[in-house]
Amino acid sequence: MRIIRCRLNRLIKTSICATLLISLVYVISLVVITVKENQCSNEESLHFIEDLCEDYKSHRVEGRLCEAICESKDIIFQKCANYRGGKVVLLAQCNGRCQEGKNVKAVIKTKRWEGHHFEPLNLGTHGNKSLTADSLKIAKTLMNDLIYSTTKVNMGSIKDIFEKLWEMDFTSFVKSARYPGADNVVIESLWKLLNQDEYLFMSVNKDSHFIPKIYGTCGGVYVMEYAPSGENLNSSPSIFTAKKGGWVERASIALQILDICQSLDIDFHEPLHFCDVRKKTLD
Ligand SMILES: *[C@@H]1O[C@H](CO)[C@@H](O)[C@H](O)[C@H]1NC(C)=O
């Protein structure tokens, strides 16, 4: 009896081992496949920029930096970063167009729209393709509602919501546009931007020191400050051991960071928590 039990045990152990091993191999290959699928390629990114510029040249998108990306090439694609959480994230060199007189690194970003539901506004236009006064009103109301429902910020009192959120003077742009219906193209581009929480969050909070700057946009794509987490997260475990800055300055920075934490907790409809704080996700 004993011998049989022992053999049985061994058999069970072996099969458990084999099952575990097979599961492990399966999980590892799943992870590898997922990582590969989430990785971007430079070729694919160049296609992405080509498509954007095609849209710009045929007047389907507008933005302050379209010309720099598509014509003067002052913004040059360098390499793509991982697609994180369904975003396109491209690192670029920006010569003179992001910070005046300076050549800086910048990040080109947008949501990956495949698989996401997105409705263009499809507003009513005159025969000459420009928006009717009613359409403009509808656009303002819809944008206001969207901004409020996402950020709890009420933009209603701001005289021109387009200028505040579009990084460009709407009225003078439309006046100087050399093709019909430019106002409609601008509104649709802005609508696509506002449908991205990250863009909305950064535009609404753009006066804060800690929010990366938005340099400009092109269609639903925005170009923002390259803000690597730097040495603070890389080596030194605490900002208090950093070399520069006196006590008062450090205390003030600490207070501002606490303000941001509080704001993320109470200023939105739901508390906003970052669950994945690593150097890589903060870059
Ligand atoms: C388009 O037509 C409307 C109505 O006729 C007019 O008010 C508007 O100024 C025109 N826009 C342009 C850009 O010509």
pLDDT in tens, 22-79: 888 787 777 666 666 667 889 999 999 999 999 999 999 999 999 999 999 999 999 9
Q: Are residues 200 and 251 both part of a single domain?
A: no
Angle between helices 133-151 and 182-194 (to 10 degrees): 10
Q: Is 2 a domain residue?
A: no
User: Cα separation of 41 and 30, whole Å?
Assistant: 20
Q: Are residues 243 and 203 both part of a single domain?
A: no
Taking 60 as the threshold, does the pLDDT of residue 200 lie above it? yes
Residue 242: its pLDDT value, please?
55
- From the CA of 126, give the closest atom in ligand 1: 2
Residue 103's SS3 state is: strand
Q: Is 269 a domain residue?
A: yes
How many percent of the chain have pLDDT more than 90? 43
Q: Are residues 206 and 236 both part of a single domain?
A: no
Q: Are residues 205 and 237 both part of a single domain?
A: no
Residue 81: its pLDDT value, please?
85
68 class by beta-carbon count within 10 Å (0-12 exposed, 13-18 middle, 19+ buried): buried
Q: Is 107 a domain residue?
A: no
Taking 80 as the threshold, does the pLDDT of residue 235 lie above it? no
Q: For ligand 1, say whether the CB of 58 is within 6 Å of any of its atoms.
A: no
pTM of the model: 0.78
Q: What's the length of the chain?
A: 283
How many percent of the chain have pLDDT more than 70? 83
Domain interval for residue 242 = 232-282
Which of the two residues, 111 and 12, has the higher pLDDT score? Answer: 111
Residue written as tokens 């799943």? 30
Residue 7: its pLDDT value, please?
62
Mean pLDDT (whole number) for 73-94: 88
Question: 80 forms bridges with which residues in the sheet?
Answer: 90
Q: Is 73 a domain residue?
A: no
Mean pLDDT (whole number) for 176-205: 92
Q: Are residues 175 and 243 both part of a single domain?
A: no
Residue 139: its pLDDT value, please?
92
Residue 223: its pLDDT value, please?
97
Q: Are residues 194 and 150 both part of a single domain?
A: yes
Taking 60 as the threshold, does the pLDDT of residue 241 lie above it? no
Q: Is 163 a domain residue?
A: yes
- From the CA of 174, give the closest atom in ligand 1: 13
What is the distance in A from the centroid of ligand 1 to the CA of 70? Answer: 29
Of the three residues 178, 210, 242, the one that is the final residue of a domain is 210
- From the CA of 129, give the closest atom in ligand 1: 1
Mean pLDDT (whole number) for 178-198: 93
Q: For ligand 1, say whether the CB of 41 is within 6 Å of any of its atoms.
A: no
Q: For ligand 1, say whether the CB of 125 is within 6 Å of any of its atoms.
A: no
Q: Is 70 a domain residue?
A: no
- From the CA of 183, give the closest atom in ligand 1: 13
Closest CA to 106 of 65, 162, 72, 71: 65
Number of independent structural domains in the chain: 2
What is the distance in A from the centroid of ligand 1 to the CA of 170? Answer: 16
Taking 70 as the threshold, does the pLDDT of residue 282 lie above it? no
Q: For ligand 1, say whether the CB of 126 is within 6 Å of any of its atoms.
A: yes
Q: For ligand 1, say whether the CB of 234 is within 6 Å of any of its atoms.
A: no
